[in-house]
Amino acid sequence: MAKRSFDELNLNDAFLFASALQDEEICRLILELILGRPISKVNVHTEHGIFLSPDLRSVRLDIYASDEMQVGYNVEMQQKDRGNLPQRSRFYHAQMDVGALKPSEDFRDLKPSFVIFICTFDPFGYDLYRYTFEERCLERDFALNDGTRKIFLSTKGTNGTEVPKELVEFLRYVENTNDACVKEAEDERIGRLHGRISALKKSREWRAGYMTIGELMEDSREEGRTEGLKRMLTLTSAMTKNGDGHLIPSLEKDRDLLERMYEKYHI
C-alpha cells in the first residue's frame, strides 16, 4: 500500500496523532470529549513525545499531559491489537507515579492519573465505544479510590445510546478526519478540533518531519537501528516544537548539522 500524503492522514495515524497532541489546545479538546467534563488548561510534557515501538512496526505517541488540578493523563493511539494493553496500562501508571512525590510528601499527595488508549479495534470484544476500569474490592464491590483509572476507547463500538454523543462523534472523527465528518457532528468542539488539525497539516515543518521519519523507518527496518531511530524521532519532535523544524529535511544529508542538533537538545 502506498504511503499516504500528510494531507490525507486521519487522526488515527500515529504520526498525525503525535503531532496534534503536542498542541495543548488540541490535547485539551480531546480530553474534554473523552472524559465528558470541562478542562480549562493542560500542559503537555513533550519529553514523552514521539518514538518508535520496539518491534519497528509503527511510530507511536506516548504523551503525558496534566491539567490545572495536576491530574495526569497518558494518552496513546493504537491501530493493532497485540494482546498486551492491560499489562501496558499497568506499566504506564507505574511510570507516571515514579518521581511524582518528593521525599517529604505523603502518599496521599499523589494526584489522580488516567491511562487512555484510543483503539481502532475492539480491545475486549463487547462492542463498546468505551471500557473504563478502576481498582475495586472483589468481596464487597467498592472502589479502592487510589486515584487511578484506565480508559480503553474503540472506534468500532456499537452502543451509541450508552455513551455521550460527543464521544461517538469524536471516535468517528478519529477515523474520518475530514470536512464531511465535521459537518455531521453536532458538538462544536469537533469543528474547533478540525480547524487546528487542518492548520497543522499546512505546517511545512510537520510535513518535512513526516517525510523524514518515513524514510528513517524504512532505513531502520533494513538495518535494524532501533535505538538510533528512537533518538532521531525525539530530536525531530524537539526541533519542531522549538522553531528548528525547517532544518529537518537537511538532517539526513548533513551529518554535522545532525550532531549539532543532538548537542543543542541534549539528546
- Predicted local confidence at residue 38, as pLDDT: 92
- Phi, psi torsion values for 12, nearest 5 degrees: -75, -10
Cell of 183: 459537518
In order of 11, 22, 39, 74, 107, the CA distances from 191 in angstroms are 14, 18, 17, 24, 41
Q: Are residues 74 and 190 in the same domain?
A: yes
The three cell numbers of residue 173 are 472523527
Position 225 in a domain: yes
3-state secondary structure labels for all residues of 52-106 = ECCCCCCEEECEEEEECCCCEEEEEEECCCCCCHHHHHHHHHHHHHCCCCCCCCC
Query: Do the domain assignments include residue 135?
Result: yes
Residues 214 and 192 occupy one common structural domain: no
Total number of domains in the chain: 2
pLDDT at 50: 43
Last residue of a domain, one of 156, 172, 202: 202
Q: Is the pLDDT of residue 170 over 60?
A: yes
Residue that terminates a domain, selected from 178, 202, 226: 202
Residue 156 lies in a domain: yes
Which pLDDT score is estimated for 224? 46
Does residue 104 share a domain with residue 180? yes
- The verdict on residue 184 lying in a domain is yes
Query: Could you tell me which of 145, 266, 197 has the C-alpha nearest to residue 21?
Result: 197
Choosing from 202, 217, 233, the residue where a domain stops is 202
Residues 158 and 61 in one domain: yes
Phi, psi values for residue 51, rounded to 5°: -155, 170
Domain enclosing residue 241, as ranges: 205-264
Residues 194 and 227 in one domain: no
Q: Is residue 133 located within the same domain as residue 48?
A: yes
Same domain, 124 and 107: yes
pLDDT tens digits, one per residue of 104-133: 889 988 889 999 999 999 999 999 999 999
Say if residue 221's pLDDT is above 60: no
Does one domain contain both 192 and 216?
no
- Asked if 193 and 219 sit in the same domain, the reply is no
pLDDT digits (tens, 9 = 90+) for 32-78: 999 999 998 988 875 554 444 444 333 444 567 788 778 889 898 89
Is 1 contained in some domain? Answer: no
Same domain, 62 and 189: yes
Does residue 240 share a domain with residue 218?
Answer: yes
88 part of a folded domain = yes
Query: Domain for residue 35, yes or no?
Result: yes
Grid cell locating 34:
473523552
The helix/strand/coil state of 119 is strand
Question: How many other C-beta atoms can be found within 10 angstroms of the C-beta atom of residue 82?
Answer: 10
Q: What's the predicted TM-score (pTM) here?
A: 0.76
180 and 117 part of one domain: yes
Per DSSP, the residues of 215-245 read: HHHHHHHHH--HHHHHHHHHHHHHHHHTT-G
74-94 pLDDT, tens per residue?
898 898 898 999 998 998 888
32 lies in some domain:
yes
